Amino acid sequence: MKTFLLTSRSGLDAANLKKLICIVGSCGLLALSSPAISQSENSADAEPPIETIVVTGSRIATASNRNASQPLSVMDEAAFEDSGALLIADALNELPQLGNSLENGTSINELNRGFGAGTQTVNLRNLGANRTLVLVNGRRHVGGDVGTSAVDLSMIPSGMIERVDIVTGAVSSIYGADAVTGVINLILKQDFEGTELALRGGGTSGGGGEEYAFSATHGGLFASGNYIAALEYTKQGSILGDDRDYAQLDGSASSGLAVPSAGSGVNPGGLFAAVGGLGGFDQSGTFTQPFAERFHRMPYRSLQNELERLVLSGRVGVDLSDSVSAFLEATLAEAEVVVDIEPQLAIFSNAGFAGSGTAGFRFPTGPTVMRPELGTNLRAITRRFVEFGPRSTAIERETFRFSTGFDVALDFADLHVSYQFGQVDATQKDFDTIDKLALVNAINPVTCAATPGCVFVDLYGRGTIDPNSESAVARDLMSESKGEQQVLSAYLTGDVFDFMGQPLEYAVGIEWRDENASVRPNSALIAVPDPIGTSGNPVGLQGTRTFFGNTSGNYDVLEAYGELRVPFSESFDLGLSMRASDYSTVGQETTWGANAQWRLIDNFTLRASIGRATRAPNAQELFAPDSARTSEILDPCDTQSDTGESRQQPAGCAEFVGPSFNPSNLDSNVRAVSGGNPNLDSETADTYTVGFVLQSAYNLALSVDYFNIEMKDVLAPAFGPQATVNNCITTGNAFFCDNVTRDPTTGFVTTVRSEQVNLASDSVAGLELAMQAMIAVGAGELRLDGIYTRLLTRDRKVNDASPTEDLVGRVDNIENKFNLGANYRLNRFDLGLVIRFLDEGVQSVSANPDVALGNDIDSITYVDLYARYQVSDALALRIGIENATDEDAPIVTSLFEGVGAGGAIAPGLYDVRGRYMFAGVEFSF
């Protein structure tokens, strides 16, 4: 993503540009990955005109240009367009301050988790999207992943964005819960006259991933106000693993490599019990004994999801009198995301649904069928249904949001009152979900022949299944979820009296917020008592996911807050803030903050902030229904790999299994259970920043900030299945071992539970450096922008009895990242270059280097190029290339806990598209 200063393309003349740079500059430098990131004050050679504004990070409107004392980055419209990103989330997520951007993206883990896949979120400091508060025009936005605060930025009109403010400091006391790591405030256009039309298209050199976009914006004035309306349509094509050479093989959870042996043991040739032992049908259709073909899932999986979206938005502002104005904003957005995964598999267990923890693809025992041509009976054990083709899931979201309010200029203060309502309706359709009981009938030729409407599903050969038989054993399942948010807010801002010769400024307000969420899985996905076995255990009869009922929940919070800016002198300001909250769930919470900035000399300013943040559990963390899915684990107690290599058994295994414990590949598939926890408490975080801003008379600006966030009682899942099993063995801690169920006879892991808990602690600290320079070169101007982050610490501790994990250097916590950009403007031309660097990393910080041969990930550098030509006042053309050197995404497997079973890439961390080229045309009149 690119970072550039606001230019005259944004409708600013030179004087206004200089003034805006000065105002924003006291907070932070323009980060090159996003449009204007300014972090320095204007040099003393000119005083900007005094104007009262509000900068994100404070609710106080002030005439001071020293009004932000913590790091602030600003991305303007022009830089977003130059980035080549289709959506604003894509552009923001290239910033070094942002972490894993696809928590709810393409991961098979997220698809299995529930109904949140495909959302476009942002994740400051890599501490989670739920800890990054997203605002629109300074007000909250309803969460896109139902029941959470994680906003789906694809539901926000990208074409309406005027700028984006990114504050990474202590602002929870100002804006409320969820601003643990900071705030991203999307400022939409308001004062706009005329009509703009924009068309763009793009594609990748490797094939797939084509993108198209159209937007239309119209605005104008009327007697007492203004209006603006916009429409935008975007379509993004999918990229499958099969489209990229590096994604042809599954990844290994032990070696961290994508190798032929890492594929699934459930293959299209099947596995059958026969005279002489187990066998299957090879590529030629010949029955072979023994048979151990591997099936690779990565070619079938989405590296980039298919996306189609339509957004309608508008705003009307009216001056009711000289002192009263009102507004109404509304957005209606619809989006559909399609996620592709590999064909369905089945394991036919002698124990029926009770086998191996009733993993989602476990079926009752398959029939024994005589095959005269082979001279033997065959009993089905496993089979991959490639004849049915890959599976896909479509997630449709409809978001409606409106906000209305008024501003009143009183004699003693300014009053701001607003009400907003947001609603997200999401449906997820799982196509061609197999009915297990129907399939058991269909694969038995005798039973099927006696059952009306049954179509025989012939497992007993290679390519023998009639694709048309799928309609008899599978159906599409629709599940629904819904989230609603209401916010009523009012605050006063003004100044009390002069203090030390400067106005003592304040803001005080109250806010009421109500959140509702409901999840309604399709009835066929809800567990029922085992209809075949005698245990009565709840099992799922459809698909690979099982839910244990519907759920709904709500909470509300009433808050009061205040903010005070105390000017001790013209060069030193102190800011104080506090917020008292009363939640219907966790009770009363208090947050506070303090910040200061001290201009030692005209061009050098020190700044610091400190704050306490709390985040109450959201509706999903509290009320999400228990659900079970299939998860693949590598049991650390296994003494022999599936390819025959010996493994050293850790000492912690002695309590659970014998010294020759050797589960098969099929026994690595277990049932993973997770859900909400109504007994959760709030998490707390202490945030610190300290730094300086330096600007020279030679158009050079530099800022350096140290940041530190220390969280306690962290709200998080109690680790994934693999990490839970590993930690049980290495620590013996009951926190982990109580959540692992093993078969009492075989010792095999059958079920791993991971519900939401309050973990012990999580912390991050680092340095952020930003620079900017503007140099006259010939008749044009060269602008250099850069932002660099260095991660110093990233520690996680699951509970008081567990060791502290140092995650610095893991691929989602890379030690060094920077963006460096150059923009040259000459008359009607703009030419740009951006370099994005990601340091080397590892998939796991605790992996055994003798086994995890692919653990180390090399550093990677992306180069982006763009150009824009203003043909006339009404017509502009632009072209660009992202990842011009066509860098492949590195192999990242489930050795890294953020990748699902068999995965070999991390789309939220690395570019999976390869070289991407785009072109666009813009009309204005």
Find where tokens 């976009």 sit.
213
* Longest Cα–Cα distance in the chain: 102
CA distance linking residue 102 with residue 913, whole number of Å? 15
CA distance linking residue 621 with residue 146, whole number of Å? 11
Beta-carbon count within 10 A of 195 CB: 13
CA distance linking residue 4 with residue 833, whole number of Å? 11
Which pLDDT belongs to residue 103?
45
CA distance linking residue 904 with residue 513, whole number of Å? 42
What pLDDT band is residue 901 in, cutting at 50, 70 and 90?
Answer: confident
What pLDDT band is residue 102 in, cutting at 50, 70 and 90?
Answer: low
Q: What Cα–Cα distance (Å) separates residue 569 from each residue in 279, 501, 653, 758?
A: 85, 7, 66, 44
Q: Considering only CA atoms, which of 273, 344, 204, 395 is closest in space to residue 915? A: 204
Type of residue numbered 657: V
Chain-centroid distance of CA 522 in Å reads 25
What pLDDT band is residue 10 in, cutting at 50, 70 and 90?
Answer: very low
Q: Considering only CA atoms, which of 842, 713, 230, 144 is closest in space to residue 424? A: 144
Which pLDDT belongs to residue 84?
74
Instruction: Tell me the two tokens of residue 802.
Output: 């567990």
β-strands 528-529, 860-872 pairing: unpaired
Lowest mean pLDDT among 46-50, 295-299, 348-352, 859-863: 46-50
242 phi, psi to nearest 5 deg: -65, -20
Which pLDDT belongs to residue 340?
92
Neighbour-count burial of 223, counting CB atoms closer than 10 A to its CB (0-12 exposed, 13-18 middle, 19+ buried): exposed
Instruction: Tell me the two tokens of residue 142.
Output: 């309803």
What pLDDT band is residue 695 in, cutting at 50, 70 and 90?
Answer: confident
What pLDDT band is residue 853 in, cutting at 50, 70 and 90?
Answer: very high
Q: Considering only CA atoms, which of 628, 634, 627 is closest in space to residue 894? A: 634
Which pLDDT belongs to residue 625?
80
Mean pLDDT of 755-773: 89
DSSP code of 449?
H
Find where tokens 């009938």 sit.
441
Which pLDDT belongs to residue 109?
53
β-strands 551-569, 572-583 pairing: antiparallel
CA distance linking residue 114 with residue 104, whole number of Å? 10
Question: CA-based angle 99:101:106, to the nearest 5?
Answer: 140
CA distance linking residue 630 with residue 544, whole number of Å? 6
Chain-centroid distance of CA 80 in Å reads 19
What pLDDT band is residue 585 in, cutting at 50, 70 and 90?
Answer: very high
What pLDDT band is residue 172 in, cutting at 50, 70 and 90?
Answer: confident
**Cβ pair 207, 180 in contact under 8 A:** no
CA distance linking residue 485 with residue 556, whole number of Å? 10
End-to-end distance of the chain based on CA atoms, in angstroms? 29
3-state secondary structure (DSSP) of residue 523: helix
Q: Considering only CA atoms, which of 920, 899, 887, 914 is closest in space to residue 209? A: 914
CA distance linking residue 428 with residue 146, whole number of Å? 12
CA distance linking residue 829 with residue 558, whole number of Å? 52
Neighbour-count burial of 818, counting CB atoms closer than 10 A to its CB (0-12 exposed, 13-18 middle, 19+ buried): buried
CA distance linking residue 658 with residue 622, whole number of Å? 39
Reported as a single tens digit per residue, the pLDDT across 328-363 is 999 999 999 999 999 998 888 766 665 545 566 778
**DSSP string covering 555-602, please?**
EEEEEEEEEEEEEEETTEEEEEEEEEEEETTTEEEEEEEEEEEEEEET
Neighbour-count burial of 587, counting CB atoms closer than 10 A to its CB (0-12 exposed, 13-18 middle, 19+ buried): exposed
Does 244 have pLDDT greater than 70? yes
Lowest mean pLDDT among 444-453, 695-704, 901-910: 695-704
Which pLDDT belongs to residue 712?
93
Which pLDDT belongs to residue 9?
30
Residue of 682 and 755 predicted with greater confidence: 682
Mean pLDDT for all residues in the chain: 85
Which pLDDT belongs to residue 718?
65
**DSSP string covering 59-73, please?**
S--BS-S----S-EE
Reported as a single tens digit per residue, the pLDDT across 540-573 is 888 777 888 888 889 999 999 999 999 998 889 9
Mean pLDDT of 217-237: 95
Chain-centroid distance of CA 434 in Å reads 30
Which pLDDT belongs to residue 697?
67
**Which residues lie across from 431 on neighbouring strands?**
none
3-state secondary structure (DSSP) of residue 700: strand
**Which residues lie across from 879 on neighbouring strands?**
867, 919
Does 259 have pLDDT greater than 70? yes
Reported as a single tens digit per residue, the pLDDT across 294-332 is 999 999 999 999 999 999 999 999 999 999 999 999 999
Mean pLDDT of 829-844: 95
CA distance linking residue 206 with residue 202, whole number of Å? 12
**Which residues lie across from 278 on neighbouring strands?**
273
Which pLDDT belongs to residue 528?
85
User: In the chain, pLDDT over 70 holds for what percent of residues?
Assistant: 89
Does 67 have pLDDT greater than 80? no
What pLDDT band is residue 696 in, cutting at 50, 70 and 90?
Answer: confident
Mean pLDDT of 905-920: 92
Report the b/e string of 894-922 with b at 16+ CB within 10 A.
Answer: bbbbbbbbbbbbbbbbbbbbbbbbbebeb
CA distance linking residue 427 with residue 429, whole number of Å? 7
